[in-house]
Structure 1
Amino acid sequence: MDEDLIAKKDVLEQTGISYGQLYRWKRKGLIPEAWFIRKATVTGQETFFPRDKILTRIEQIRSLKEEQSLDELVQILAPEASPECVQHDNPAALTPIGAEGRKLLWKERGYTFGELVALACGAQAMRSGTRPAEAKLLVDLVRAEEAAVRTSTGMTALLAEKAFDQEGISVRLTLGVLGHEPLKLDRESRIKHRVDLEQITEQVKLALREVA
């Protein structure tokens, strides 16, 4: 998937941060290495970023750093710093999950961080019009890949529909796909819903902080 990119010089100009701040946050892990994209231009190699991600992340760092140290912010914002000992009993109370996620619960209490992320993926899909049965497919996909939640930078989960038309018989199957962008599907498949796993992971971490 081609992303809307923004040049480093434009990031610094729009946000007012310095070159030093940007790279200090990179060294801390607050801005993932994968977001620093080197591309050839008419003036040589330049660094670009995913526009929405970098501008949102800088705003988050600025708004939170008055109350948190940079090391604490790493635990909140860095995808690889996922909580290991979460046992949450009311997933629907978390904004990324909410009432939609209540329909996807499979046990009464004791949800781990990875399971909360999986529920948030399904809830987001339902908010976009996905049926609960298909959203559950997305939940099961993410639940089964806990390592992806802990290394979610650049990871995407998809719900796709694959069509089979042969001898007058038409069949539509929904399938889940998880991997690093760019994800490619065959011609007979179309994307029904796309989830940025890195973004969902961050949202769940922030939601847990709010209810702590």
Structure 2
Amino acid sequence: MASLIGDDEHTAKDDAYVRAMKCRKWVVVSSALCVGVFANLFIPQKFSIYVGTVEIAAGTWRGLVSAGLVYTVVQYCLLLTQLAGRYSELLDQRFGIRELEKAVAAQQQQRHLMEEINALENRYNRAESSGNLAAVGIDVAARRSTFSRRIENATNQIEKLQEQIDALPSHSTPTASYKACEVSIDAMRLLLPIIAIIIAAGTIARAL
């Protein structure tokens, strides 16, 4: 019942995997309540409130726990659908593959900028030594300033890329067996509520 009136301890800010893992608890709780009520393991008792004594009928309890189960099952199915669409990406993030790809891309960009700096310096040195800059009326000092700014910008980008690379965590690519074990663990965790749902559905069917 807490699932019907609470926020299920997760919001849209959480990742699909986190939301599904938190929702499974409510699926199991709702299933257990249905089994208890429909198998007559739970017998409603009278209880006192300020205005007198109240007793909720068994049919009302069945309706309440059934509504709770339907709500959690629908929500859990939607969350599993979301998770299925992003699971491969989530595994890559979990294993650090995304970080490795970022590091490789940053290093490639770094090498490209270094090559650009070397090319700029070589072009300028050749032009200046051959006198081509002055021959065509180009201000040598202005051209030197332009090249210097471009080299400085490239150097700053390299420094920033190096900082990003250094900040990335160190990861090694996991083996296929490691990945298989990780997926199996997730499957066991996420399939358990489905077993609880099946048990609850069978109990309800026998009681009707």
Using the size of structure 1 for normalisation, the TM-score is 0.22
Using the size of structure 2 for normalisation, the TM-score is 0.22
Higher relative contact order (CA 8 A, sep 6+): 2
